[in-house]
Amino acid sequence: MDKNKKSGQGSKAVAISLFLVLIFLITAGYYLYRTLNRETVSEIPVSLPVNYGGRKQKVKIYFGSPDALNLISEEREIYLTDREEDQVKQVIYELIKGPKEDLTPVFPPNSELREVFIADRVAYLDFNRSFKEEHPGGSSGELVTIYGIVNTVVDNFSGIDKVQILVEGQEIDTLAGHISADHPLARRQIQLRIAN
């Protein structure tokens, strides 16, 4: 009987060990899959409705000048969609990708747009925590970031007058301590120039 008892305990130990190994392999496989399939900023997918028709529209995307003292626009193309939120997402993704010319990026590394919604002519843009935590700071850097985003959205969408910036679904008092961002912001002229 002791032999059967030991045999039963051994079987349980083997079964538990196999179960733990299986859990470990599944978890490791999942993390390996996510690591190998991690998207770069330039590959962020834009979910387009099936009926977008492939039509495109030119838009202005604002980046900082090389000295980060004003904004300069670059022209890009986005797909026309039925939902204005989808078009705003595309514009922000273009902004996150960064400039093609020798201009200053608006977004810090690892920034991601989480969601966009529009209500009462205000676009609410919800970014991840990295957008705020990894911002390099400085008054001109903050100005370029905030108004690069606001001016890009307001200039390209006639149905939007202001932009409210959110981080992880919450309003922020300021991005880097120099500009109040706790309310919807209107477009602001910052010595705008057009890139050649």
Per-residue pLDDT of the chain (196 residues; tens, 9 = 90+): 555 555 566 777 777 777 666 666 655 554 444 444 333 333 444 444 444 567 899 999 999 999 888 899 999 999 999 999 999 999 999 999 999 999 999 999 899 999 999 999 999 999 999 998 988 888 888 889 999 999 999 999 999 999 999 999 999 888 887 888 899 999 987 654 445 4
Cα 170 to Cα 18, 55, 96, 178, distances in angstroms: 44, 34, 20, 19
Domain membership of residue 6 (yes or no) is yes
CA distance 81 to 185: 25
53: number of CA atoms within 13 Å, CB side?
6
Closest CA to 78 of 106, 105, 102, 97: 97
Domain count of the fold of the chain: 2
The residue range of the domain holding 188 is 50-194
pLDDT at 130: 92
Q: Quick check: helix, strand or coil at residue 126?
A: strand
Phi-psi region of 174 (alpha: psi -120 to 50; beta: other; left: phi over 0): beta
Q: Which of 91, 189, 68 is nearest to 137 (CA)?
A: 68
State residue 190's pLDDT score.
67
Q: Quote the pLDDT of residue 139.
A: 81
The answer to whether position 62 is within a domain reads: yes
On whether both 60 and 88 belong to a single domain, the answer is yes
Residues 101 and 56 in one domain: yes
* Strand 162-167 versus strand 185-186 pairing type: antiparallel
Quick one: how far is CA 67 from the chain centroid? Answer: 24
Q: Does residue 151 share a domain with residue 179?
A: yes
In this predicted structure, what is the pLDDT of residue 30?
43
Please report the pLDDT score of residue 22 as a whole number: 60
Q: Which residues pair with 171 in a beta bridge?
A: 166
Q: What was the pLDDT predicted at 77? A: 95
In a domain, residue 44? The reply is no
**Could you tell me what percent of the chain has a pLDDT over 70?**
73
| Dihedrals phi, psi of 124, to nearest 5 degrees | -100, 115
User: Do 11 and 106 fall within a single domain?
Assistant: no
